[in-house]
Structures are given as C-alpha cells and as structure tokens.
Amino acid sequence: MKKQDIFRAILLVLVTVPVLYWSTSLQKQDDSTLKVALNISTSIDDLDTKSIIESADYSVLELLLSPLVEYNNQGEIVGAIAERFYWDNNDLIFEFRKTTFSSGTPVTPDDAITTFKRLMILNSNSHGELANLLCIKSRPKSLSDDCEGMIADGNRLILRAKKKTPFLLPLLTSIDYGILNSRLIDQNSLKIISFSDTSGPYKLNKVDGKQYLNANKNHWHYRKNTPQIIDFVPFDYDINSKNSAENQFIAGRVDFIPTASEFRLNNVDYIQKRTAKPFRVHVTNPIAFAYAEYTLPGLALPIEARRHIFACMRRAVKKHLANDPSGRIATIQILPPSSEGNLSLEQMENIESEIEKHNKPCDALGIRIAVPNFLLNYYKKILDAELNNFNLVGYPDVAVFGDRTDKDVPELTILGVDVSAVESINSISYAVKNGILVPPGNQTPSEWLKTYFDTPEKSDRMAMLQSIQFNTVWANPRIIPFSIRPFASVINARWETDFSQLFANDPYWKIKLK
C-alpha cells in the first residue's frame, strides 16, 4: 500500500469514528462552562476584524460576531444572519431573519452596511475586499459617504455588484464581515468600542477584571445544552511544562484544546497515556501548512542562493517526515496537493531535479532562521540532520519582523497557516495580502486580486494560481514549503461535537453537553 493511502486510511478512521477513550457513559454535569486552552494575541477588547492574523483571534471573533452567510459541515453556503439569499440579475439579495444583538436590539441591513463601509474605509482587512465589487464610483472615505452597491430595503440588504460574480457570496462567509452593532463603532476613529453587545453566539463579559464569553440567548444557534460560559485559559507551548495545554487538560483545568491552539495529532497518545478520563478527538483533512518565509533581508539574497536553501530544507523536511506520527506530508506547494491551481507535474519535476543538483550536506550560507519558541527543538532536530552553517533562534512571536530591514532581522522565519483544497477566495485573498502568494512581475497584491476577481473563466483563474505559486516558490523564491498536516482538537467526553473536516476552526456552538 502506498504511503499516502496508509495516511488516508488512518485519517478516515480518526475522522469518521470519534476517538473516545473509555466506553463508559458519563452522567450529565450541571457545570456548562467550557474551559478552553487558547492563547489570544491581545485582550479580547482589542480584537478587530480589520486585522486578523492569528487563528486564535479569528476563532474568538467567530464567537462574538455572525456573518450574513456561513458554511455548513459539507462546505455549502447557508444562511446565517440572512435567512434567505439569492441573485436577481446583478443584485445579491439577503433577507434578514428576525434576530437581535445580545442586548435584544434588532440586527438590521444598516448595521451590515456600516460594518462593510468601516472595512472599506480602513482598507486593511485580511480576507478580500468588497469595495472592488460594490463601489462603482469610488471607495467611501467616511461612514457618511455612499457606496452605491449597498442598499438597505426594509429587512433586505441588496448588494449590487458591478457584475454577477461567484466570489461575492463566499467572501461574506469570512468573519472579517461579521456584523457589528453600528452603535458600538466610534464614528471618528472607527474603533470597535465594545463586544458587550454582539451578533454572534457569545458576548464579552468581565468579572473582577477577567474576561469571559457568555452565551447570547437571542442567537439562532443558542441551545440550553451548548456551553453557556467560555473561559479562556492561557497555556505554555512546551508540552513538558505543567501549564502546557495537554497537561492542563490531563489535570482537568481545561476541557477543550481547539485546533487554534496548534494541538498536534501525535499528542493524543501523550494524553491517553497520562489520564484515564474519557475524551474525544476531532481531526480535519490535511489543511495545516508549515513553511519558511524570507524576510526583506532574506529577499536580498540572490535567487540562486534562495533556491539552494530551498533544496537544503526540502531534503531535511522530506527525510524527517518519512513516517510522521502527526500525519505531516512533505510538500513543495503552498496549497494542498489535491488543490485546484497547483503546480503542474512538469513544474514539480523540474523543481525536484534542480533540488537534487545541490550538494549534500548543505551549506546554508550562514542564514539566521527565526522559529516560534515552542517549535525550536522540533526544527533543530530536522535541520541539524541535513544542514550546516545556519543559526536557528527561538522567538515568542516571529511575526514581529514584518517589513523591518535592520541587522537584527533574520533571513527566514518559520510560520504556519491553514489552506483550502477548493477555490476559496477568503484563503487566496489572505495569502496574497500577507505575502504567502507573491504575484509575478511588478503586480501589487491588490492589482493581482482585482484581476483574479474580474476573471470569469475558472480555468483562467486556476492558471493564475499556478503562476503565482510557481513564482513564489521557485521563479523568485519567497516561500519554502515544508509540510501539510491535519488539524486536531480534543475535548472532555462529557461534551459532544459536530465539527467539519473541511475547515480549521472549531465552532463552539456545535459543542453540546451529553
């Protein structure tokens, strides 16, 4: 049996049959608080839909806000705040359900328009732009400015696109477009004033300075057996620490380790060996992408030097992942291997043949590589086996280097992101805006995305994706793909879950007491 077939078989078992240690049934407990191991990048008060980078931040905002439409477990777009939606020529019409914010005030089409205008004015959100599709004359510069493509008509929101496009509806599933209470947006700074009155399944509450999420009983997803209070518990990434997510789970200090906490499938065994308590495991398809990214000083290296470092790292990762217990697969692509718009077989063979021409063991040219602290030992073991002359340094947050060019900036940073096996405009927009996919030539990210949006034929768009991938990994290397793996989460067995295999996030409103 081929290695990939073995992996698929293992994954199928893990996903289709909930992993439940102990078969004894548990009595329902009165405590409906869900204690979640999650490290949020900032105070919940300071989260903002205009700048979502961390998956943990996305996960929390998804609890506080609801979009017009959302994906179900099968990957179909279904109604959320909009109970019904349909195209009428170039008009995409949303009929709002009779729903309210957590305070009981109605969610209206005007709230949606204010939410969308805010992002258009700030012009910084990560998952695609509405202005290019809806604002025919000009982008609004204040909340009082008009965007003629957004019309409130009673309980209907009409989005009048420049032309009927397959991207508008999927774009609106992103939590970037979660509907804010317009009364809680500062009219001048456009800052979100509070998450105490929200459109999502939860609202923010504070007790003695500690932040909790309380269930929004006005929400259509609300049930009495879903978590009523969510308590976020910080953790150490070092699994040997008593405060690691795994050890807190074993000790009963947390009930749930979500995918956004970077939990690995191979750590299931660690938990199983140290507790007799029953728990469940959820596993996604392989959509967690690990990679190295050149910083601005790294991009100053000649193309051939960057390709040489790619070759060194490719061999190291591929060798290490030959029998990986967490389901990692070595890759030279940015999107999952089965994705549309991937590199052609000829392109992959050309890259692989060039990689084989580089000497072993590899001289890594003295490069400095930044890696998150909790992954330092893991990557040191991988790279030490194949590379010479490099310096691997752990940092609490490798994203701090940004566009810096000073002498303290390492040439490479090691990162991770979730990717999609289908054409997801949200994922593509995020990747292009954040430099994970780099347009060829002199195109800016905005120009490339506008062209992509305006290209009606899917085959032409797939050719664009193939071109941007090849440019990013080889023609003018910016990204060194490492591996792709499934996401995993674990939860105390007194809770049942109904999560999808297709997406990285864990919708907490699909968690229920047994």
Cα separation of 43 and 255, whole Å?
21
User: Collapsing DSSP states into helix, strand and coil, what is residue 114?
Assistant: helix
Predicted structure pTM score: 0.84
Alpha helix segments (H runs only) across 126-237: 131-134, 168-171
Q: Is 72 exposed, middle or buried, given 0-12, 13-18 or 19+ CB atoms closer than 10 A?
A: exposed
Beta-bridge mates of residue 362: 387
Cα separation of 493 and 280, whole Å?
6
User: Which helix (DSSP H) or strand (DSSP E) does residue 467 occupy?
Assistant: helix 458-470
- Which architecture characterizes domain 66-184 according to CATH? Alpha-Beta Complex (3.90)
Predicted pLDDT of residue 28: 39
Q: Residue type at 53? A: I
Predicted pLDDT of residue 125: 63
Predicted pLDDT of residue 434: 85
User: Which helix (DSSP H) or strand (DSSP E) does residue 256 occupy?
Assistant: strand 256-257
Cα separation of 286 and 264, whole Å?
12
| Residues with pLDDT less than 70, the chain | 1-30, 125-128, 359-360
- Residue 221 near residue 509, CB atoms below 8 Å: yes
3-state secondary structure 167-199: CHHHHCCCHHHCCCCHHHECCCCCCECCCCCCC
Predicted pLDDT of residue 200: 97
Strands (E), 359-450: 362-372, 387-395, 412-418
Neighbours of 236 (CB within 10 A): 17
Q: Residue type at 2? A: K
Distance of CA 50 to the CA centre of its chain: 15
Predicted pLDDT of residue 199: 98
Q: Which residues contact 268 (CB under 8 A, 6 or more apart)?
A: 19, 281, 488, 490
123: left (phi over 0), alpha (psi -120 to 50) or beta: left
Q: Give me the CATH topology for the region 286-486.
A: Dipeptide-binding Protein; domain 3 (3.10.105)
- Residue 471 near residue 438, CB atoms below 8 Å: yes
- Residue 388 near residue 412, CB atoms below 8 Å: no
Tokens of 175: 């939590």
Q: Which residues contact 76 (CB under 8 A, 6 or more apart)?
A: none
Predicted pLDDT of residue 128: 64
Cα dihedral 68, 72, 75, 79 sign: negative
Q: Where are the domains of the chain?
A: 66-184, 286-486
How many angstroms separate the Cα of 228 from the Cα of each of 33, 197, 211, 224, 505? 6, 16, 14, 8, 19
In sequence order, what DSSP letters do the residues of 337-377 get, joined into one string? TT-TT---HHHHHHHHHHHHTS-SSEEEEEEEEEEEGGGHH
Predicted pLDDT of residue 119: 93
- Given the DSSP bridges, would you call strands 387-395 and 362-372 parallel, antiparallel or unpaired? parallel
